[in-house]
Amino acid sequence: MISDLASDKLNFIVNINLTESIRTCVHCSLSNNLPKVVVSRGSPDASLMLIGEAPGALEDEFGEPFVGRSGQLLDSLLNSVGISPTHDVFICNVLKCRPPNNRKPTKFEIEQNLPWLEQQIRLVDPSIICLLGATAVDVLLGIKGSLSTHRGHWHDIDGRLVMPLFHPAYLLRNPSKDPGKPFSLTKNDLLKVKDKLSTFRI
């Protein structure tokens, strides 16, 4: 039987190899714009994975997902419910490169990027996945339409718990912290996630 240390080492090596493969990806035309490929941030050992849509301008500049205003809001929300953005989560996107002018990803781009995301999910092996915004929800759950209806509900994908959440960019556009508004609904959703996470920690 493989020891915990050996399995950690193996995961580390597979993660480095996967990251390198994603960085040299030319599967779709987004790579023609010579973007910085944005793979992930956080911990590959985390039980919680957050999946957004695609890198924006700052993410493209720094090569990390969710480092702009949306990311700052996301981190402060996670911290406020006691989830560490560095240790407790692995954060990535459906697309690994920034679409020009932050346009919506095309179906083709999503299809070309999906195998990377699937490998990330397999490697990180999270117990819980939160889908940030409509694109991730559509791609992973096949659910279209308003997130107001779908957010905060648990789904199952291959034995993993999956919850749609409002995208942090939507919260920036709807900043009210009143009860029943998107911000406090998202905080409540994250509290549910935190609760569930604690049941996976022995």
- Which residues contribute to the site for ligand URA (CB under 6 A)? 52-56, 59, 65-66, 68, 70, 93, 169
In the bound state with ligand URA, the residue whose beta carbon lies nearer, of 66 and 166, is 66
Could you give the CA distance from residue 79 to residue 194 in angstroms, rounded to a whole number? Answer: 11
Could you give the CA distance from residue 101 to residue 141 in angstroms, rounded to a whole number? Answer: 26
State in angstroms the smallest separation of the CB of 155 from ligand URA.
19
In the bound state with ligand URA, the residue whose beta carbon lies nearer, of 17 and 72, is 72
Nearest to 197 by CA among 88, 41, 123, 90: 88
State in angstroms the smallest separation of the CB of 173 from ligand URA.
13
Please state the separation of Cα 5 from the chain's center in Å.
26
State in angstroms the smallest separation of the CB of 139 from ligand URA.
12
DSSP one-letter string for 45-101? T-SEEEEES---HHHHHHTSSS-SHHHHHHHHHHHHTT--TTTTEEEEES-SSPPGG
In the bound state with ligand URA, the residue whose beta carbon lies nearer, of 53 and 109, is 53
In the bound state with ligand URA, the residue whose beta carbon lies nearer, of 11 and 61, is 61
Could you give the CA distance from residue 15 to residue 2 in angstroms, rounded to a whole number? Answer: 18
State in angstroms the smallest separation of the CB of 56 from ligand URA.
4
In the bound state with ligand URA, the residue whose beta carbon lies nearer, of 3 and 74, is 74
Per the CB < 8 A criterion, the answer to whether 196 and 99 are in contact is no
State in angstroms the smallest separation of the CB of 49 from ligand URA.
13
State in angstroms the smallest separation of the CB of 190 from ligand URA.
17
**Cβ-proximal residue to ligand URA, closest one:** 52
Q: How many CB atoms lie within 10 A of CB 157?
A: 12
In the bound state with ligand URA, the residue whose beta carbon lies nearer, of 171 and 185, is 171
Per the CB < 8 A criterion, the answer to whether 175 and 107 are in contact is no
